[in-house]
Amino acid sequence: MLDYSILSLIIWVPIVTGVIVLALGASDNSAAGKWTALIGSLVGLLLVIPIWVFFDTTEPLMQFEESALWIETLNINYHLGIDGISFLLVFLNCLTTFVVILASWEFVAEKICQYFASFLILSGLVNGAFCALDAILFYVFFEATLIPMFVIIGVWGGYNRVYAALKFFLYTLTGSLLTLVALIFLYRESNGSFSLLEYHNLRLPIFQQVLIFGAFFAAFAVKIPIWPVHTWLPDAHVEAPTGGSVVLAAVLLKLGAYGFLRLSLPILPDASQMLAPVMIFLALTSIVYIGFIAFVQPDIKKLIAYSSVAHMGFVTLGIFIFNVNGLMGAIIQLISHGFVSGALFLCIGVLYDRMHTREIADYGGVVNKMPIFASFFMLFAMANAGLPGTSGFVGEFLVLLGAINANFWFGFAAGSTLIIGAAYTLWMYKRVVFGEIANAKVAGLVDINSREFLVLFLAATFIIWMGVYPASFTQFLHVTVDQLLSHVSISKL
């Protein structure tokens, strides 16, 4: 077992490094700021390694716990800990931050240090949300992630960046305020405790559970996002810079699903089961309806944004069918979606940096000038379509198994939409990459450089690794998933 505060380091090393980078920006030392950001993100990623090594995959309880009194009068504690679910999400977040900083190395022209600092601070705050075991600590980290993301979209985004940033902020903040009210109610019901683990032992009346579930839903459904509260996401993705889109898809959307897994299911098992048909309906609607919307998008970035909504629908479906395959698949899909969607947005960034357009009609014949890039893009597109041997297949396959076990028609509806996903992804790829060179701009393209190759190679490595050897990831989940399902199964319903 580790004998130092590894979780605190994972949270505060990126945040402190981000503050240092901001200070370097104030002195107009952008080169030092970039290198400091890269080293800080690499250290954050390396800190995950000892957790990977020392993590006990047979232990269902929280590990690497830290606890210190924070606000004594209200019994609020700085309480951290992780299980298999939160560990994989922390790993995804740290890896994504490193990749984004590396990918953005040459393509930020203004406020360079502030740009990199925003991603580092965001990374630390997200890690805090994944590790927090105190309700108020979780809420503070969960809400604080809005600030750097709001800045990233609003300062370095596209033409309508202010509108997109405000929409993102207002949607997510409004829902989260109801969650704060619910947490205060749970504080009263638990005789003055903000411990999320103690809330698991509460057995509230079903009416109270339903109300609290609704409050949690307001925050977590928006963050995932689930239809019909998804409309902020395409705008945010389109206007965000490439790094912002990658982090938004790969990491921030996961906070909503994590909220359902960490708060809604264990604290409100009766309401979760009673409202599961509603959640399944919303999930299937997200998968089917949003898939058709993605089909007609002329903007390549907006197409991938809608694809993210559809794929996160699989996550919601897997969570609320309450069986091992479904829940395991939902969590694996969370991680896989982070790899795949992040990689696709990186590819879009590579094209946009050269062409300065996201319209699919402006491309065509890219493979003739960028064969290495086209190969990576093909892999990521296939993973998005669920090709066996890639991470995209594992999570969707497990969710479909779980859905069929729960109800054949759930599995049939979800499975049929895989055809839609493959269709719009491959049709997009065909129009962008294959065919004759479409115009002079495409004719002037040059293939990826060594830095871009490294970024895409890292993404491809993890997509294939998870697809070929998923047990290296699922080993962290078995006992955690079993314990969670066991807890929900003792529901009074």
pLDDT at residue number 460:
94
Peptide linkage before 228 cis (omega within 30 of 0): yes
Rounded to an integer, the average pLDDT of 150-178 is: 83
Would 259 be classed as within a structural domain?
no
Cβ atoms 408, 419 nearer than 8 A: no
Find the domain containing 483 and state its range.
280-493
- Choose the weakest-confidence range: 143-157, 226-240, 271-285: 226-240
415 is a domain residue: yes
pLDDT band for 179, please (50, 70, 90 cuts). Answer: confident
Q: Give backbone dihedrals phi and psi of 67, rounded to 5 degrees, phi first.
A: -150, 130
* Closest to 331 in 3D by CA, of 285, 265, 246: 265
More confident residue, 346 or 488: 346
Query: Which value, in Å, is the radius of gyration of the alpha carbons in the chain?
Result: 22
Q: Does residue 263 lie in a domain region? A: no
Per-residue pLDDT tens over the stretch 363-414: 888 888 899 999 999 999 999 888 888 988 888 888 888 888 888 877 787 7
pLDDT, one tens digit per residue, over 334-363 is: 899 889 999 999 999 889 888 888 888 888
Task: For residues 46 and 95, give the distance between their C-alpha atoms in angstroms, rounded to a whole number.
Answer: 9
Q: Per the domain annotation, does 350 fall within a domain?
A: yes
Q: Which helix (H) or strand (E) holds 417?
A: helix 408-433
Q: Is residue 89 part of a domain?
A: no
Decide if 17 contacts 40 (C-beta within 8 A).
yes
pLDDT tens figures, 46-66: 999 999 999 988 888 888 989
41-45, 307-311, 347-351: segment of lowest average pLDDT: 307-311
Q: Tell me how many domains the chain contains.
A: 1
Which residues does residue 80 pair with via DSSP β-bridges, in sequence order? 66, 132
Residues 6 or more apart in contact with residue 36 via CB below 8 angstroms: 17, 20, 21, 24
- Tell me, yes or no, whether 381 lies in a domain: yes
Flag whether 341 is in a domain: yes
- Among 130-139, 162-171, 336-345, 463-472, the range scoring the smallest mean pLDDT is 162-171
30 falls within a domain: no
